[in-house]
Amino acid sequence: MIDDHLMPSSESTPGPTRRDRNLEILGGSTRLELGFGGVLRVLRRRGLLLIGIFVLAAALIFVASNQLPKRYASVAWIRVTDQKENLFIKSGQSVDLTKEQRAVVTTLESPRLSQALQAKFKAQFNDISSVAATGLEASPLIRIDSEASSPRLAEQSANEAALFVVADRRGKARAKFASRAKAESELAAAYEAEVNTLSEQFSAITNPADSRRPGLQTKLTAKQTEFNDASSAAATDTTESRTADGGLEIYEDAIRPVDPSFPLPTSWAIIGGLAVLLISVGVVYGREELVGRFRSGDSSESRRAGARVLGVLGQANGALPRGVVTGAGATVDEVGLQIVHLLGRSKANVVLLCGVDGPAPEITARRIAQAIAESGARVVFAACRGVSESMDSDEFEAPVPRARLSVVHEQQTGGRLRVLDDGIAVNELTVARARTVLRRLTEQCEYVVIAAPSPTVEPSSLVLAELADATVMIAQHGVTKLRDAERAGTRLRRVGGAVLGVLVDPAKPGPAGAAYVARSAGVSAG
C-alpha cells in the first residue's frame, strides 16, 4: 500500500513524517534545498583560496612593476596671443564647446623638434621618452607634455619644447614678413622709377597750355600714391620681420614632477589583482559547478551535488578509486543495511536506484538488491527496459537469461531475491499504471528494488520517484558531473521524491556481466 505523503505533487503536502525525519538524519531530504547560485557557492567554499590568489597576484604585480624603468611627466603651457594665428578657430565655422577634441601641433617625431632637443640635451636625448605639443579646441592654450627618465629631464624637455614651439612660430612669422617686405620693397622701387620717369616728362613740358600736362599730372599722382603705399607696407613688414612674436608666448613654465607617471604599481596591483580574481572565480566556477565531478566522496561534494554522498564503492579488486578520502568508501552490504535500517519491514517498501546522467548501473543496482535480500528480506529486483547500454538490445526481453539469473540469486540468498524477467517499460508508465505495477510487486515481497534512468534523461522516471519510499542516485566516479547530480536531485525533489543520497560507483552503467559478486567488493556469498 502506498503512503499518503508519496502522492503526486499537485496534491497538498502533509507535515514531515517519521520516515522524513530519518531521511534528514541520514542525509536525505524531501525538500528542495538548492536555492543558492553557483557563484555564491564558489565564493563561500573557496573564499580563502580566492582571497589568497588576489593578494598573491597583487603582490607579484606590484613587485614586478617596480622593476620597470620609471618615467616622469611634466607639463608646460603656451598661450595664443593673436587669435588670427590660432589654428583651432576657423572663420565661418562654429566650434562645439562641449567637445574635448585635440589637434596635434608637433611631437617628438617632428624632425625640427627632434633636432632642436637633440642639440640641446645631446646624450640625454635618448632618455626622453616623448614630447607632444597639443592645442585644445576652442581654447587659447597649447599644452606641452613631456616624459623622461628623471624629474629634472622631464621639466627641462617640456620647457625646451615650449621654447621651440614659440620660437618656431616666431621664426615662421618673421620669415613671412621678411618675404613680404622684400617683395613690397621691390615693388616700391619699381614705382619709384616710374614716378621719376613721369616727373621728368612732366617737367619737360614748359607750356602750361599744353594738353599733355593734365594726363601726365594724373598718372604722376597715381604712381606717387602707389609708391607711398608700397614704401609704407615695406617699412611696416620690415619692422614686423624683426619684432613679430608669431602670436604665441610662454604662459606657464613646467613644474618638476615628484612621483613617476609610469609605472603605477599600486593601481596596477589593484586592477591586475581584481582581473586575476575574476578569472580565478570563472575557472573555479567552471571546474566545480560546470565540469566538477565526483572524485573524493567528501562532504564538499555532498554540498555541491545537493544530496549526501553515501559513499564510494570499491573497484572489482576491492580497492577504492584513486583520490577517495579515508572514510568515504562504502560496500554494497553497508548500503543495503542502511536502506533496511531506514525503511524497516513494517510494510512493503519501494527503493528506486536511478542514474544521474544516464541509466543506473545495473550491476550495482542488483548488488544492492542482493545485499537487502541477504539481510533476510524478500526482494524483487526490476530493471527498466530500454535503459541498458548492452550491445544486445533483447537482453531485457529474453526470459531465459533472466530466469537463469533469478535461479542463481535464489541460490545465493536462500530464495529471498527474485528478478523480474520482463523488466518495467518506464517510458510507458503513468501514475495509475505505476501504482498498479508496484502494488502487485509489493504483494509478493518486502522490498522492490528498481534500476531506472536519470530523470534528466527519462522524465517518466519521476513517476516511479513519486511512489518510491526512498531514492538513491548512482553516479560514476570521476565521470559524473556534480551539476548533473544537482539537476537530477532537483527534479526528484520537485515531485516529492525522498532522495536518500548519492552513491558513487567506479563502474560504468550497463547490464550485469555476472550474477555473483565476490566478498572483496562488499557483497557476501549468503
136 and 224 assigned to the same domain: yes
341 and 220 assigned to the same domain: no
- Per-residue model confidence as pLDDT tens for the chain (526 residues): 233 333 333 434 445 554 454 444 444 443 333 334 667 767 777 888 899 999 999 999 999 999 999 999 999 999 888 766 555 555 555 555 444 444 556 788 788 889 999 999 999 999 999 998 887 666 788 889 999 999 999 999 999 999 998 998 899 889 999 999 999 999 999 988 888 888 888 888 878 878 888 888 888 899 899 999 999 999 999 999 899 888 889 999 999 999 999 999 999 999 999 999 999 988 887 776 667 888 888 887 887 788 888 889 988 787 888 888 878 888 888 888 889 988 888 888 999 999 898 888 888 888 898 889 888 888 888 888 754 433 343 333 333 344 444 555 665 666 677 777 667 777 777 888 888 888 888 887 889 999 988 888 888 888 889 999 999 999 998 888 888 888 898 889 888 888 988 999 988 876 543 333 332 232 222 2
222 and 370 assigned to the same domain: no
pLDDT score of 525: 24
Domain boundary pick from 252, 280, 315: 252
pLDDT score of 352: 92
Q: Is 521 part of any domain? A: no
Q: Which of 374, 395, 377 is nearest to 386 (CA)?
A: 395
Q: Is 27 part of any domain? A: no
Cell of 178: 621678411
360 and 479 assigned to the same domain: yes
- Chain segment 458-469, per-residue pLDDT in tens: 888 888 899 999
309 and 226 assigned to the same domain: no
pLDDT score of 438: 87
Asked if residue 450 lies in contact with residue 476, where contact means CB atoms within 8 angstroms, the answer is no
How far apart (Å, rounded) are the C-alpha atoms in residues 161 and 115? 11
Q: Which of 123, 128, 115, 122 is nearest to 155 (CA)?
A: 128
126 and 203 assigned to the same domain: yes
229 and 352 assigned to the same domain: no
State the residue for C-alpha cell 547500454. 389
How far apart (Å, rounded) are the C-alpha atoms in residues 522 and 519? 5
Quote the number of domains for the chain.
2
Q: Which of 302, 490, 303, 319 is nearest to 311 (CA)?
A: 302
pLDDT score of 12: 42
Q: Which residues contact 319 (CB under 8 A, 6 or more apart)?
A: none
Q: Which residues contact 475 (CB under 8 A, 6 or more apart)?
A: 294, 305, 355, 356, 357, 485, 502, 503, 504, 505
Domain that holds residue 161: 72-90+99-252
pLDDT score of 232: 92
Asked if residue 159 lies in contact with residue 76, where contact means CB atoms within 8 angstroms, the answer is yes
pLDDT score of 2: 30
pLDDT score of 93: 55
374 and 497 assigned to the same domain: yes
Whole-number average pLDDT of the chain: 78
- Chain segment 372-405, per-residue pLDDT in tens: 988 888 888 888 875 443 334 333 333 334 444 4
Q: What CATH number corresponds to the domain at position 457? A: 3.40.50.300
pLDDT score of 37: 60
pLDDT score of 387: 45
Q: Is 269 part of any domain? A: no
247 and 313 assigned to the same domain: no
Q: Is 195 part of any domain? A: yes
Cell of 268: 596596477
Domain boundary pick from 232, 252, 272: 252
Domain boundary pick from 252, 281, 315: 252
Q: Which of 368, 497, 500, 502 is nearest to 26 (CA)?
A: 500
324 and 245 assigned to the same domain: no
pLDDT score of 3: 35
239 and 322 assigned to the same domain: no
Type of residue numbered 153? L
Q: Is 67 part of any domain? A: no
Q: Which of 424, 425, 433, 493 is nearest to 462 (CA)?
A: 493
